[in-house]
Structure 1
C-alpha cells in the first residue's frame, strides 16, 4: 500500500484510535520489544497500522520520528521475532518523518504470540488474550458447539423417543403431523436433526432445546439449569439443590414455575388488605432465565446456568463473560448464539428485538425495587435482583445504580431523565427533590450520565442522558 502524507493527515482527523489504527510519538526511538508486541496485538485484532511520529492525543500533530531509520533491516528483524511479515514504510510528511508499519491480519483459526503471550490491546495497554477469546479463534471455521452431533446412528423412532416432539409443535403453534415422517421432516428443516447413510443424528442444539432428558446425551446433561435455595442471605445453609432434566424449550415453563415456587414471600398491605407477594416478580425471573440460557458460552465445560435464591435476593448466572458491556445491557443487544436465540424467540420464550433487560428494569422501577446489579465474574455473568427495600435503607451504590439505569431506560424510551422522573422512580415526594439532586450530581461526577446539551440552561429544567449517548 502506498502511504502518502495526505493519508497520514486523513488518519489524524479520525475522532479516536481504533481496532486497526494506533499512533505513537516515538520522536527519537521506539523499543524493539514493544514494537514486536504491538505487531502481534494488531495482527490478532485482524491487522492494521502502527504509526510512529504522531502524537496519540488530539489534535495529533506530526512530531517526526527518528526511530527505525533502516526500514528494510527493521522489517527483517520483525519477521525473525514474530514469524510474519510486516511492511515498514517511511513517509516524508511536510511536518516531519513518519514511520508506518502495515501489519497483516492473523490467519483464520490462528493466534500469534510473542514470548508465549497471545496479546491484544486494551486502551493504552497490551494484555494477554483470555482463554475465552483464544478458544473462539482456534475454533474459527469449525462447527460451533451447538451444531455438533450429540447422538448419531438413530432410527426415526429413536429420535421421537429422545426428543419431546409433541411440545416442539405446540411451541410453534403447529398441529402435530399425522405421520412420523412429517415430524422428522420438520426437525430436519429446522436443522435440529441430520440424516445420513447410518441413520439420523440429533445435534446439540436439538437435544439442548427438546430433550425429554438432557442426561440421555453425553456432555449435555451438565448444561442443565441448577436451582439452589438458601435459608438466609448467605450460602451457609442450603434448603434445596435441584438440577433440571428437560430441554431448555420444553422445560422452560416448568423451570420458571419451580423458581417462583421457591421464592420467599413478603407481607404487604395494599388498600388496607394484608397479602403475600413474591420476593421478585415472575416477569423478571422469566426474562433473566431466558437470557442466562441463551447467552451462555457453551464452549465452557463443567459449568451450567444457575439460579440461587436467598432470603433478600435472587442471583441468576450463566457461563461466559458477556459480549456486550454490562453498562450497555439495557440498550444494547448482541446474541452470542444467534440460531438458539431465533428458535427461542419463535417458541415465545424470548424477544428478538432486545435482550429483555429493559423489561427487567421497567419491572423493578414500577414496583420500586432496588436496581438490579449485573456483574462479571471469572468466566461467568451474574444478574442480581433484590427484594423490596425502602429508599432509606438503600446505600449510595444502590441509588446511583438506579439513577444510571433509569437514565438509560428513559433514553431507550426516547425520553430524558429529570429530577422529577427519578424521584417518581424511587416513589418519593416533591420534598425529596434535593436528595435526588445529590444522587444525580454523584452520577454526573462518576461520568456515567451527563447533562442533555439540548435542555434549557437551568438547573430546574435540567435533563440528563447516558454519558455514552
Structure 2
C-alpha cells in the first residue's frame, strides 16, 4: 500500500475501533512474541468465522486516547520481517503473516500486521492452543466456534462433492478392476480376494470411499474416471503433466483415471542405471536413477494435496539429474521437515474425501510416513535427499535427485550404513553448500566427517580419499596460512618485489575452491597484513598502490 492508502486504512480502523478482527496496542520496543502469536490465532480464527479475508493487529496506538503515539517495536526491517518466520513456526497448521506495513505517521511510527483469515474448516492454533475474541478481549476458542469452523470442511471439501448427472458408465473398467485388486490386497486379512472382486460395483465403490450412497463424486472421476469423462470436473483441469527439459524437450498430459495414469507418467521418465565407485574398491555399485515407489509416492502426494479450486495441474519436470514435482496449494499441515523422521501424523487434509479413498486403494498412507519413506529410499540408494521449495505461498515444489552431487557423500553412505538420519540430513546440506547449525557442524567435525571453516564445510579426507576424489579434496581443502606465506616470501626472495596484481596471480589459484572470489581477495589481504605486522614484509609503494618486498 502507498502511505496515503495506509493512512486512510488506519483512520478507518480507528474510527470503528477494536472488535473481533481489529486490535490496537501501544507496544514498546520489545512486545512479547507469544502475545502476538495468541492475537494472531484469535484474529485469524475470528476473520474466518465472520467471512472476512483478513484481520488487523496495530502497534503505536494509545487505547485511552485512541490516538497515534508511535511504537519502537523492531525498528530494524530484518528483525521485523523475522517475525513472519516466528509466526509460521509456532502456528498450527503453519501459516504466514500476509504483510507487515509500516506507516511513518506525523505522530509516530505505526506498525500494521495484516493477518490472513484461517482457512475454511481449519482453526489456527498458537503453540497448540486455539484462541478467539469476545468483543475486544482475547479468549480461548470455544467448542461452539470450533465446531462451526470444522463443519466448514465437510461443506467445502472439493473432492467430496457429488457430480450431478454422472453415472457408473463414466468409470474406466480397467481402473475399477485395479481398484478392486488394490482394496483386496489392503484388506487381505478381512476379505478373500474373490469376495471383493464379486461385490456389486456400487457396494465396492461405497466401501472404498469413492462414492456417497452410490452417487459419483469428484474423487471417483479423478481416480477411476474414463479419459473422456474429465469434462465432468470442469472448470478444474484434472491433469498430470510430464515435461522433459535439457538437450531434448518433450511433454505429455495425463487425465483420469489417475489410479492408472500415474504409472504411465512414471514410465515416461528416463530411468537408467547409474554406477557409484565405493571407496578403495574397483567394482561399482549399480543403482537405478529413480526408484518407482519413491516417484509414485511423490506423485500421489501431489494428487492428494493439490488445491483443485485453483484450477491448476500437477506438473512433473524431468531434468538431466532431477525430477521436480509441483502442485497447487501451500504445504497444508506443518512443514516438510516435521515428517522426515516419520514421527508426525497429520490431523487434517486439504481433500479429506480424496485422501481417504487413495488410502483405501493403497496409493498413499494417512499417517505421515510418505516423506519419511522418500528420504529413506534416497539414503538407501546413496543419493542426495529431496529439497522442498515453499517460497511461493500457493504452490509446493519437491526436488528429487537422480544423480550424485558430491561423490564423497555417496561413498560415505556406502561405507557407513549405520549413520543416524539427523547426521545424513546435515551432511546432505554440506554437500549442497547449504548452511548447517553450529551444533550439527561440531558433531560432524568430532566424528571426522567434515572439514573446513564455517560456512565452507566439505567432506573430510577420511571419506574423500579414493583416487577419483583426491584431486577434488585437495582443491577444496584450506591450507595453513604459513603455506601461503612461504609461497609469497619465496617469490619475493627470488624476484625482489611484487604488487597486489602479481601476488593475486601467485596465490588465488592456490586457495581453496570452496572460497568465493571476494573471500579469496580478503584472505590475501589478511595474509599481507599479518606478514607486515610480523615484520616479514614491508610496503615500499604507496598506501593506495602497495609494492611489497622482504623486510630487512
Q: 1:388 aligns with which of 404, 409, 412?
A: 404
Residues 252-271 of structure 1 mapped to structure 2, 5 A cutoff: 252-256=262-266, 258-259=267-268, 261-263=269-271, 265-269=273-277
CA contact (8 A) 2:160 2:217 kept: yes
Q: CA deviation at 1:363?
A: 3.0
1:316-359 deviation per Cα after TM superposition (whole angstroms, max 9, x unaligned) = 11111112234435254533323333332332222332242222
Give the equivalent residue in structure 1 for 2:299. 289
User: 2:45 & 2:156 partners in 1: Cα distance?
Assistant: 26
Q: 2:114 aligns with which of 122, 127, 133?
A: 127
Give the equivalent residue in structure 2 for 1:311. 320
Matched, 1:223 2:197: no
Q: CA deviation at 1:172?
A: 0.7
User: 2:29 & 2:277 partners in 1: Cα distance?
Assistant: 64
Change (3 A) 1:311 1:59: closer
Structure whose residues are more often helix by fraction: 2
Q: CA deviation at 1:219?
A: 2.6
Give the equivalent residue in structure 2 for 1:279. 289
Matched, 1:374 2:388: yes
CA contact (8 A) 1:165 1:210 kept: yes
1:149-193 deviation per Cα after TM superposition (whole angstroms, max 9, x unaligned) = 235263x5x266668321121011153569987221222344422
Residues 230-249 of structure 1 mapped to structure 2, 5 A cutoff: 230-232=245-247, 237-238=248-249, 240-249=250-259
Q: 2:175 aligns with which of 164, 168, 172?
A: 164
TM-score, normalising length: structure 2? 0.48
Matched, 1:186 2:201: no
User: 2:197 & 2:44 partners in 1: Cα distance?
Assistant: 59
User: 2:387 & 2:43 partners in 1: Cα distance?
Assistant: 43
Give the equivalent residue in structure 2 for 1:459. none
Partner secondary structure for residue 307 of structure 1: strand
CA contact (8 A) 1:320 1:379 kept: yes
Give the equivalent residue in structure 2 for 1:362. 376
User: 2:296 & 2:224 partners in 1: Cα distance?
Assistant: 19
CA contact (8 A) 1:264 1:278 kept: yes
CA contact (8 A) 2:210 2:357 kept: no
Give the equivalent residue in structure 1 for 2:335. 325
User: 2:43 & 2:393 partners in 1: Cα distance?
Assistant: 35
Which protein shows a greater Rg?
A: 2
Change (3 A) 1:38 1:266: farther
User: 1:368 & 1:163 partners in 2: Cα distance?
Assistant: 37
Number of corresponding residues: 335
Give the equivalent residue in structure 1 for 2:128. none
Q: 1:202 aligns with which of 213, 216, 219?
A: 216
CA contact (8 A) 1:296 1:318 kept: yes
Give the equivalent residue in structure 2 for 1:423. 449
1:58-91 deviation per Cα after TM superposition (whole angstroms, max 9, x unaligned) = 5999xxxxxxxxxxxxxxxxxxxxxxxxxxxxxx
Q: CA deviation at 1:203?
A: 0.3
Change (3 A) 1:108 1:33: closer
Change (3 A) 1:381 1:182: same
CA contact (8 A) 2:287 2:381 kept: no
Give the equivalent residue in structure 2 for 1:83. none
Change (3 A) 1:159 1:128: same
TM-score, normalising length: structure 1? 0.56
CA contact (8 A) 2:209 2:360 kept: no
Give the equivalent residue in structure 1 for 2:520. none
Give the equivalent residue in structure 2 for 1:144. 157
User: 2:338 & 2:216 partners in 1: Cα distance?
Assistant: 36
User: 2:372 & 2:430 partners in 1: Cα distance?
Assistant: 20
Q: 1:337 aligns with which of 336, 346, 351?
A: 351
CA contact (8 A) 1:226 1:305 kept: yes
Q: CA RMSD in A?
A: 5.0
User: 2:446 & 2:376 partners in 1: Cα distance?
Assistant: 17
Change (3 A) 1:289 1:299: same
CA contact (8 A) 2:230 2:256 kept: no
User: 1:330 & 1:282 partners in 2: Cα distance?
Assistant: 19
Gaps of 5+ in 1: 1-30, 62-100, 408-415, 437-469
1:396-421 deviation per Cα after TM superposition (whole angstroms, max 9, x unaligned) = 875465957x97xxxxxxxx965467
Gaps of 5+ in 2: 1-9, 36-41, 57-95, 101-110, 123-148, 185-190, 410-426, 451-457, 465-472, 478-552
Change (3 A) 1:347 1:178: closer
Q: 1:110 aligns with which of 47, 51, 57?
A: 51
CA contact (8 A) 2:55 2:115 kept: no
User: 1:348 & 1:366 partners in 2: Cα distance?
Assistant: 23
Partner secondary structure for residue 46 of structure 2: coil
1:290-309 deviation per Cα after TM superposition (whole angstroms, max 9, x unaligned) = 221211112110x2111111
User: 1:272 & 1:392 partners in 2: Cα distance?
Assistant: 16
CA contact (8 A) 1:368 1:427 kept: no
Change (3 A) 1:310 1:185: same
